[in-house]
Every structure is written in structure tokens, then in C-alpha cells.
């Protein structure tokens, strides 16, 4: 049975998608992945890991049960920041204001899925087009996710803009989101192929 690298994430409303995509495509910004509304979705990651394809329904059922206790989130983007990646390059993200309910959802998902997830990951587990230049750094974020998020206080919700030195200064940005998805990860851990979705 084939294994796939997956991301459990919240997708974003139209107005936030537009902001993220516009920054990603701005003149002078070095985008290393093209965000879109159809694939490579802007998102807020809640959990990442590797599963067997025959475990997709198991994960779906667990997510449906967990999300019964949630009805969406009023969130706030409060800053933009640049961090250094394992490639020693810059990557720009939006900072999401800490939110108790979002943290609770992250904890519940991790508690339920850690016994299922593995973290030995390789190229063939990602959704990669034949003409894409695959970046091995994609594996770094997956294989370290379980360790880095073993403790709830380490969860840092953000929206990766998949570019370098992106700029934005109209904060705060408030929005509501209620769509949770499971995606097969793409290059640079984009939210590439939606395998399951549910409205909270």
C-alpha cells in the first residue's frame, strides 16, 4: 500500500486568499511556489504526517468526530515575518493571533492522529507534477512535525506565503474560517490535493 504525506489544515475565505495570492505574485517578490485557489491553497496547518492510503477513511472519520465540537473560528492576522529555512533562505508568513479554540483543535487532532502518523517521508509521498523541480526540503517539515509539535505550547499558527521578503502593512486583518481539509502535500509542503473536507 502506498504512503502519502498529508496536511490537516484550515482553508481561508476568499478575501484572505486574495491577499495571500497577491503578495505571492507581487513584483520583485521571489515566489518559490505559486499559491492559487485551485491547488497550492493558502492555509493554516493543524497537523502533518504520513499515512497509508488505506488509512484515509480512518483519518476522515476521526476528523469528523473531532470537528463536531467546533463551529468555525474568528481569527486575526497580526503581523508578517520572515524566517530562515533549512536551505538558509528566507520564507515569508503571516502571523495568526493566538486563539484558544484553534489551539484546542490542534491538540485534539494531534492526540488522535499521532498513533496513526509516521514521519519517515520521501519524494514519492508528495503530489508532484512531472515537470516540477522537487525540493527535498519539503521532507524536513514533515519528518520533524511530530517532534516539533509534541508539546501544545509549540504550536504557532501561521499562513505561509511561499515567497521571500513579501510585504504587507494593513494590520490587523480579521476573518472567519470554517473549512477543514485533509490534503496530500505538494512541493514545499503546499496544501495541494484535497482528500477530505468538512465545514465546521
Q: Domain limits of the chain?
A: 3-199
pLDDT of residue 131: 87
pLDDT of residue 21: 96
**Beta-carbon contacts of residue 14 (< 8 Å; ≥ 6 apart):** 37
**Beta-carbon contacts of residue 172 (< 8 Å; ≥ 6 apart):** 76, 77, 78, 97
pLDDT at 1 over 70: no
Q: What is the mean pLDDT of the chain?
A: 94
Cell numbers at residue 193, please? 490535493
Report d(CA 173, CA 182) in Å as an integer: 25
Share of the chain above pLDDT 70, in %: 99
Strand partners, 35: none
Report d(CA 101, CA 74) in Å as an integer: 10
pLDDT digits (tens, 9 = 90+) for 118-135: 999 999 999 999 888 898
CATH number attached to the domain at 3-199: 3.90.1140.10
- Other beta carbons within 10 angstroms of residue 37's beta carbon come to 14
Q: Terminus-to-terminus CA distance in the chain, angstroms?
A: 31
DSSP 97: P
**In this structure, are residues 189 and 43 in contact, taking their beta carbons and an 8 Å threshold?**
no
pLDDT digits (tens, 9 = 90+) for 73-116: 999 999 999 999 888 889 999 999 999 999 999 999 999 999 99
Give 148's pLDDT tier (boundaries 50, 70, 90).
confident
Amino acid at each position: 500500500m502506498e504512503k502519502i504525506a498529508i496536511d490537516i489544515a484550515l482553508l481561508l475565505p476568499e478575501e484572505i486568499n486574495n491577499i495571500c495570492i497577491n503578495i505571492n505574485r507581487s513584483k520583485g517578490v521571489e515566489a518559490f511556489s505559486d499559491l492559487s485557489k485551485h491547488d497550492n491553497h493558502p492555509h493554516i496547518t493543524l497537523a502533518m504526517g504520513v499515512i497509508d492510503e488505506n488509512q484515509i477513511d480512518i483519518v476522515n472519520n476521526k476528523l469528523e468526530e473531532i470537528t463536531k465540537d467546533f463551529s468555525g473560528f474568528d481569527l486575526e492576522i497580526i503581523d508578517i515575518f520572515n524566517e530562515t529555512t533549512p536551505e538558509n533562505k528566507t520564507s515569508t508568513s503571516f502571523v495568526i493571533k493566538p486563539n484558544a479554540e484553534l489551539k484546542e483543535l490542534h491538540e485534539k487532532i494531534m492526540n488522535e492522529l499521532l498513533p496513526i502518523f509516521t514521519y519517515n517521508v520521501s519524494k514519492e509521498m508528495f503530489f508532484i507534477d512531472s515537470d516540477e523541480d522537487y525540493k527535498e526540503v519539503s521532507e524536513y517539515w514533515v519528518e520533524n512535525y511530530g517532534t516539533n509539535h509534541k508539546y501544545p505550547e509549540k504550536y504557532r499558527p501561521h499562513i505561509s506565503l511561499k515567497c521571500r521578503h513579501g510585504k504587507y502593512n494593513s494590520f490587523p486583518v480579521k476573518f472567519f474560517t470554517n473549512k477543514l481539509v485533509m490534503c496530500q502535500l505538494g512541493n514545499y509542503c503546499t496544501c495541494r490535493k484535497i482528500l477530505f473536507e468538512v465545514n465546521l
